[in-house]
Structure 1
Amino acid sequence: MSDIIRLILPIYILIVVGFVLIRIRYIAAADLRGAGRLVIRFFLPLVVFAAVAAGDHDTALHPAIFISYTIGSLLSYGLGYGTALLAGKPHGVRAFEAMGCSCSNSAFFGLPISTFVFGQQIAFDIFAMALLIENLIITPLAVSVIEVESGLTWAKLRRLFAGILTNPLLIGALSGLVWKATGLGLPTVLLEAIRLMTPVAAPIALLAVGGAVAELSLKTFRWGVIRITLCKLLGHPLLVGATSLLFLGTHSDLGTLQAAAIVNAALPMMSVYMLFGIRFHREDVAATALITATALSFFTLSALLYLLR
């Protein structure tokens, strides 16, 4: 267990550093957000493209991995919606809580952790898979369910899919898959230039996570915070793990990929979850859930990695 803690502790140290830098105002929050945008809009799309296009694995398109993660995430969405329903919450709040249970912070949080634990190639393959599922299936479903309450229109759907299809990370992953399907190799000079970005992207992403948390305020705890946090950190990985066992069993040669997918499901929710909290006047719940899940994930991820070994 101590080896696992030593493995992931540097990741959380960088998050804490980002948190402290913003809280003591050593750097402006806008500067760190700008660095995070540079990573998410330029560095990571290129790195993901190269990793997928030049990779030796077919993880992002492997049917069993893809289907098991998708079904597990949808079940986690249903779990979040169902628990809020039992608590007597209206439809909009149920959809808001369910979204927090089923979408991980795969870019800023998941990619650095998976790289540390599983290695670069596995990390980028799993990230590409999660990116496709979250952007093409889970997020459109969640936003559509949320908008039902105020009236789902074609104009809203067009805006939703326009935003999704212009996501630089998604473009990078899809471009990598298309390039790989052609069978063409990437020029060595281009690969080396892109690989120079890889060690820069991870630490900036983690600092940005800490900075984002530092800008939030820990509000009074509500039952919604507990429901969302437990569902995200425990329910999501358990459901992805269960569906993975169903499709792949315990003796699959894709065991490392199974483990990486489960770890990605065990991450805190995505940072933009706050935007959906504002939509339903639950920004206090969203902020508190983000802070709580980020802090507790150190313990839950450590325990999960110990169990997965």
Structure 2
Amino acid sequence: MVEIFLRTLPFFAIIALGYWAGRTRFFSEEATAYLTKFVFYFALSAMLFRFAANLRLAEVFDGRLIIAYLLGSAVVYGIATAVALLRGLDMQTSAVEAQCAVIGNVGFLGLPMFVMLFGEASIGPMMLVLATDLIVFSSLIVILINGARDGRMSLAILRTIALGLLRNPMIVSISLGLAWSALALPIPDPMNDFLAILGGAATPGALFAIGASLAGKSAERVQVAGWLTFCKLILHPLAVAIAVLVLIPLDAFSAVIVVSAAAMPVAGNVYMLAQHYGIAPHRVSAAILFSTAFSILTFPVIMAWVQSGQPPGG
């Protein structure tokens, strides 16, 4: 476990550096926003397209993995929703809290980190997890929030979901990359070098942007943030582990990747959704801050556990 902690420490050190830059105002909120845009629309998209273009969908697609991940995530989503409703919250706020419980920072933190930790073999499983989060759960929260506001489903909601997916550069870059691969088109050397150089900025840029954005997060709603952090860092990987190791067993490597992906801290796009709809942005902000900080310790433990097949400390 110590070895895993030391291997992951440099990633969190870059996040800490970004946090320092944002906290001291060396990096302004505006600068952080533009860095995030650069990573999201350019560097990360280039990396995802290049990876996807060198994959074959038939080799990457694993229905068992998707079902197992969805099963484990759905259990935690249900628990978080039930607890929120029992506390007297409305469905919209409950949906936001449930989103915090299962949507990890797979795109900005997980994918770049896992490529360096596990090699390019981790790309396929990670893309499936990322696509599942973006397509299933990002659509679900839009349905629940708009359905609760309007009191019914409508074509407008489906249109909002479709446009959101079409405008998401991660979905677009993965889809274009897989289409390129399906057409068996070679990537010209200049294009490959261009994508490699631009995509190389994704890892340090994303980690630094995560840290700088955390500097602006509040620590309000501490008890709720603590509960959501527990759901995301402990319950989610535990439920997914039961699904991929016991209920729908995957091969050892895929199981490690999927459970480790579930152990990622709360994703920043949950805050963007909460802010956009004006629903509990402060508790989401605190959950992102807490889960990212605590994941420095919990992520190595979860990863060591699933690799060894033994309970933590066992």
- Equivalent positions of 1:16-31 (< 5 A) are 16-31=16-31
Count of aligned residue pairs for this structure pair: 304
The whole-number CA distance in structure 1 between the counterparts of 2:59 and 2:229 is 28
For structure 1, which segment, 164-173 or 110-119, has the greater mean C-alpha deviation from structure 2 after superposition? 110-119
The aligned amino acid for 2:296 is F
Which ranges of structure 1 fall in alignment gaps of 5 or more residues? none
Task: Give the corresponding residue for 2:12.
Answer: 12
The whole-number CA distance in structure 2 between the counterparts of 1:200 and 1:274 is 24
For structure 1, which segment, 78-87 or 294-303, has the greater mean C-alpha deviation from structure 2 after superposition? 78-87
Task: Give the corresponding residue for 1:41.
Answer: 41
Q: Secondary structure at the match of 2:84?
A: helix
User: Is 1:267 aligned to residue 268 of structure 2?
Assistant: no
**1:56 Cα offset (Å):** 6.6
**1:179 Cα offset (Å):** 2.2
For structure 1, which segment, 63-72 or 8-17, has the greater mean C-alpha deviation from structure 2 after superposition? 63-72
The aligned amino acid for 1:285 is R
| CA RMSD in angstroms, aligned pairs only | 2.0
For structure 1, which segment, 230-239 or 183-192, has the greater mean C-alpha deviation from structure 2 after superposition? 183-192
The whole-number CA distance in structure 2 between the counterparts of 1:276 and 1:196 is 31
For structure 1, which segment, 20-29 or 191-200, has the greater mean C-alpha deviation from structure 2 after superposition? 191-200
**1:177 Cα offset (Å):** 1.9
**1:57 Cα offset (Å):** 8.0
The whole-number CA distance in structure 1 between the counterparts of 2:174 and 2:59 is 12
The whole-number CA distance in structure 2 between the counterparts of 1:37 and 1:280 is 22
8 A contact 2:43–2:200 mirrored in 1: no
The whole-number CA distance in structure 1 between the counterparts of 2:248 and 2:200 is 33
**1:306 Cα offset (Å):** 1.7
**1:78 Cα offset (Å):** 1.3
Task: Give the corresponding residue for 2:312.
Answer: none
Task: Give the corresponding residue for 2:293.
Answer: 295
The whole-number CA distance in structure 2 between the counterparts of 1:76 and 1:53 is 33
**1:307 Cα offset (Å):** 1.1
8 A contact 1:93–1:280 mirrored in 2: no
Listed one character per residue, the Cα deviations across residues 175-195 of structure 1 (whole Å, up to 9, x for unaligned) are 122222233332233222211
Work out the percentage of aligned pairs sharing the same amino acid.
Answer: 25
User: Is 1:232 aligned to residue 232 of structure 2?
Assistant: yes
Task: Give the corresponding residue for 2:311.
Answer: none
| Cα separation, partners in 2 of 1:150 and 1:56, compared to 1, 3 Å | closer
Task: Give the corresponding residue for 1:283.
Answer: 281
Task: Give the corresponding residue for 1:257.
Answer: 254
**1:102 Cα offset (Å):** 1.6
The whole-number CA distance in structure 2 between the counterparts of 1:298 and 1:58 is 35
Task: Give the corresponding residue for 2:121.
Answer: 122
The whole-number CA distance in structure 2 between the counterparts of 1:284 and 1:308 is 33
The whole-number CA distance in structure 1 between the counterparts of 2:185 and 2:252 is 29
**1:281 Cα offset (Å):** 4.3
Listed one character per residue, the Cα deviations across residues 37-75 of structure 1 (whole Å, up to 9, x for unaligned) are 111111222221121221378564112222212222222
**1:124 Cα offset (Å):** 2.7
The whole-number CA distance in structure 1 between the counterparts of 2:287 and 2:202 is 26
**Could you tell me the TM-score, scaled by structure 1's length?**
0.91
The aligned amino acid for 1:268 is P
The whole-number CA distance in structure 1 between the counterparts of 2:246 and 2:197 is 39
For structure 1, which segment, 177-186 or 88-97, has the greater mean C-alpha deviation from structure 2 after superposition? 177-186
